[in-house]
A = this chain, B = another copy of it.
């Protein structure tokens, strides 16, 4: 489907802002028509122009654009006012009449809010896939194909993306996606050092080098703290600092009761926090269940594998050896899916009021599942198999498979006794997870969906052909396909593209962030085993950045531009992994410190107290180092943060100068008169000749406030100075002597 003539760069999307896919397959035609009417009317009411075209057999495509300048401006102005009130922007926005979207992403975001926000807030109240609007299954902008192609071409020749490239991503896909790429870019850049250092360590020191481990831990700390600064920097550059304070309500939130809030005079649904807390406690059994379920699967497969590869020596060994791998690849994804769906249900049950709170809670649950599936196998090898293998392995032969009739008893015994652990197992496993699994993952993420997409399209076409006219026509399959709908010939190509985009998956940026976070975990937790881990990740991430961009552009609907000022709960996960890394690294070093062989499965070689002491010191040194790095980092201010602070400071200064300025101009008149102290003092104490006489009269009487009398003794500062000078003169020892 390659287009030979490049379309007009500016208007390739026909000025379409959003496409709404309306699915009428499940409702009868009368209702569907009515609802479509309502939809179009609503959109029109907020100032959006619409065009309707056929989608596929059971859907319509409603093309939307903001044609009325005035309503777009008003929406923009309103969004900026809200930002200003929530402290996201420092400067009061310019007046409505001159409001222009600063970037494509701002324009698209404002229009999206115009479509989806409730009527009270000035939107059309269209809620895709929810409630009244269940049959609207997608609202998406169209890809800017030329921009995408241009970027992909550019980046394939670059090592690092420039800040302008990231700005470009942010302008196209919004700040949320922008932050993912900014993170990936920082991570990639930061990997250069451990990659180089790891390579040298691998050459010179081999595995389990204490120098590499210390440097690696320190690098993790510095990277995380650096990224926190970077995040702040980008949020200032992109003007989204504090945007997480604007927390959109969740539509699915089910309030327990309605409460009339007297202070705001609003009826508000509330759900007691304590009740939610009780529900959150369910996370504990859930985490246990996950750990046990996944742990059992992994441990069993692990045991089977060791048994077959290292104990079993019977027939069919070459085939049997694949059993655990097959079991693992079948069971783990299944179990993960089940657990994720339980996690989602639990999360729904916890009934969060705002979308960010919901997302954070879900992210945490998913992190637990991922932590177990990703790292448990290596944990088992390092801390169970290697130190205790000689104790455990004999029990693995529970079914006495090695003492079957086809081998003689003596043989079996000899087979058992000759067992020795495979010291290289841990390294092999780490290499598998950090190289092979990353490559497999890349394929699963990029190539498989593309094939799936293509197959799905073929299938759809095939179905259409079968159901539609049986005459295939003579003008080739491509024209034929499009001719299924009554499209205007000018639009055929465009509509085909839109239909394809509508069939694509939704893009979820947290999925990509999760992947990076788990990758970081391997580095923090296990890289001392094989110091080439960062090298592998460096290469992988160069590809990853480009392939993720490719994925967004070619395999997903274009996401509507969401704002963000952080990568969110993943940042916390990174910190957690780096902390755990300080424990596992120390333990790995201790357990494997006596050379490559490992302690050869003899638990006596490892002293419990020494291991624990190593861990204790390593962890607390880690925490101290983190404290120091944080303190040091907090002193260094990123460029954009500084600019932002200066801006804010200048605003304050202007305001303050205005008040101080007013003051000094007020005082000028006073100052001129002030040269004559006597005159001035009269004014201060408000004493005139008459009042003086009155004072003198009152002086003896008891009417005057004795406290006020205290202040009447010295009239004006000159008199005070005179009195003071006298006291000083009298007290001065020099003057006394002179006398």
| Contact of A602 with B by CB under 8 A | no
- Asked if A86 meets B652 with Cβ closer than 8 Å, knowing A32-B728, A635-B276, the reply is yes
Of B14, B24, B263, B735, which contacts A643 at CB under 8 A? B263
Q: How far is the CA of A305 from the CA of B647 in the complex (A)?
A: 64
Kindly supply a per-residue 1/0 record for chain A positions 707-736, scoring 1 wherever the CB is within 8 Å of any chain B CB and 0 otherwise: 111110110111011011101110110110
Q: Which residue of B lies closest to A722 (CB)?
A: B52
Q: Is the CB of B277 within 8 A of A632?
A: yes
Q: Which residue of B lies closest to A719 (CB)?
A: B52
| Contact of A65 with B by CB under 8 A | yes
| Contact of A600 with B by CB under 8 A | no
User: What residues on B are CB-neighbors of A616 within 8 Å?
Assistant: 612, 615-616
| Contact of A469 with B by CB under 8 A | no
Q: Is the CB of A29 within 8 A of B62?
A: no
Minimum distance in angstroms from A244 CB to a CB of chain B: 15
- Asked if A728 meets B24 with Cβ closer than 8 Å, knowing A40-B717, A52-B723, the reply is yes
Q: Is the CB of A50 within 8 A of B264?
A: no
Kindly supply a per-residue 1/0 record for chain A positions 260-298, scoring 1 wherever the CB is within 8 Å of any chain B CB and 0 otherwise: 010110000000010011000000000000000000000
Q: Is the CB of A52 within 8 A of B724?
A: yes
Q: How far is the CA of A724 from the CA of B77 in the complex (A)?
A: 33
Kindly supply a per-residue 1/0 record for chain A positions 174-205, scoring 1 wherever the CB is within 8 Å of any chain B CB and 0 otherwise: 00000000000000000000000000000000
User: What residues on B are CB-neighbors of A488 within 8 Å?
Assistant: 713
Q: Is the CB of B655 within 8 A of A85?
A: yes
Q: Is the CB of B734 within 8 A of A24?
A: no
Q: Which of A368-376, A379-387, A656-664 contacts B (4 or more CB under 8 A)?
A: A656-664
Q: Which of A72-125 contact B (CB under 8 A)?
A: 74, 77-78, 81-82, 85-87, 121-122
User: What residues on B are CB-neighbors of A717 within 8 Å?
Assistant: 40-41, 43-44, 50
Q: How far is the CA of A81 from the CA of B727 in the complex (A)?
A: 42
| Contact of A21 with B by CB under 8 A | no
Q: Is the CB of B41 within 8 A of A264?
A: no
Minimum distance in angstroms from A147 CB to a CB of chain B: 16
User: What residues on B are CB-neighbors of A725 within 8 Å?
Assistant: 29, 33, 36-37
Minimum distance in angstroms from A383 CB to a CB of chain B: 14
Q: Is the CB of A74 within 8 A of B15?
A: no
| Contact of A636 with B by CB under 8 A | yes
Q: Which of A622-660 contact B (CB under 8 A)?
A: 632, 635-636, 643, 646-647, 649-653, 655-656, 659-660
Q: Is the CB of B14 within 8 A of A710?
A: yes
| Contact of A146 with B by CB under 8 A | no
Q: Which residue of B lies closest to A31 (CB)?
A: B728
Q: How far is the CA of A40 from the CA of B33 in the complex (A)?
A: 86
Q: Is the CB of A36 within 8 A of B649?
A: no
| Contact of A325 with B by CB under 8 A | no
Q: Is the CB of A121 within 8 A of B721?
A: no
Q: Is the CB of A36 within 8 A of B709?
A: no
User: What residues on B are CB-neighbors of A709 within 8 Å?
Assistant: 490
Q: Is the CB of B57 within 8 A of A731?
A: yes
User: What residues on B are CB-neighbors of A609 within 8 Å?
Assistant: 607-609, 611-612
User: What residues on B are CB-neighbors of A263 within 8 Å?
Assistant: 643, 646-647, 650
Bin chain A's interface residue count: 35 or more
Q: Is the CB of B51 within 8 A of A710?
A: yes
| Contact of A706 with B by CB under 8 A | yes
Minimum distance in angstroms from A28 CB to a CB of chain B: 6
| Contact of A333 with B by CB under 8 A | no
- Asked if A78 meets B659 with Cβ closer than 8 Å, knowing A54-B727, A607-B609, A711-B49, the reply is yes
Q: How far is the CA of A121 from the CA of B710 in the complex (A)?
A: 31
| Contact of A454 with B by CB under 8 A | no
Of B68, B86, B652, B685, which contacts A49 at CB under 8 A? B685
User: What residues on B are CB-neighbors of A264 within 8 Å?
Assistant: 646, 649-650, 653
Of B11, B57, B62, B732, which contacts A706 at CB under 8 A? B11
Q: Is the CB of A711 within 8 A of B15?
A: yes
Q: How far is the CA of A420 from the CA of B41 in the complex (A)?
A: 94
| Contact of A557 with B by CB under 8 A | no
Q: Is the CB of A656 within 8 A of B60?
A: no
Q: Is the CB of B44 within 8 A of A684?
A: yes
| Contact of A475 with B by CB under 8 A | no
Q: Is the CB of B706 within 8 A of A40?
A: no
User: What residues on B are CB-neighbors of A494 within 8 Å?
Assistant: 710
Q: Is the CB of A29 within 8 A of B729?
A: yes
Minimum distance in angstroms from A376 CB to a CB of chain B: 18
| Contact of A58 with B by CB under 8 A | yes
Q: Which residue of B lies closest to A42 (CB)?
A: B717
Minimum distance in angstroms from A407 CB to a CB of chain B: 41
Kindly supply a per-residue 1/0 record for chain A positions 128-156, scoring 1 wherever the CB is within 8 Å of any chain B CB and 0 otherwise: 00000000000000000000000000000
| Contact of A67 with B by CB under 8 A | yes
| Contact of A164 with B by CB under 8 A | no
| Contact of A515 with B by CB under 8 A | no
Minimum distance in angstroms from A154 CB to a CB of chain B: 26
| Contact of A443 with B by CB under 8 A | no
Minimum distance in angstroms from A587 CB to a CB of chain B: 11
4 more CB-based (< 8 A) A-B contacts, given A11-B708, A28-B734, A63-B710 = A15-B710, A40-B718, A60-B724, A264-B646
Residues of A within 8 A of B (CB): 8, 11-16, 22, 24, 28-29, 32-33, 36-37, 40-41, 43-45, 49-52, 54, 57-58, 60, 62-63, 65, 67-68, 74, 77-78, 81-82, 85-87, 121-122, 261, 263-264, 273, 276-277, 488, 490-491, 494, 607-609, 611-613, 615-616, 632, 635-636, 643, 646-647, 649-653, 655-656, 659-660, 663, 674, 680, 684-685, 705-711, 713-714, 716-718, 720-721, 723-725, 727-729, 731-732, 734-735
Which 8 residue pairs of A and B lie closest in terms of their CB atoms, listed nearest first?
Answer: A608-B609, A11-B707, A612-B612, A273-B635, A29-B732, A609-B609, A40-B717, A44-B717
What are 8 A-B residue pairs whose CB atoms fall within 8 Å in the complex?
Answer: A22-B724, A24-B728, A44-B717, A49-B685, A51-B711, A121-B660, A261-B646, A607-B609
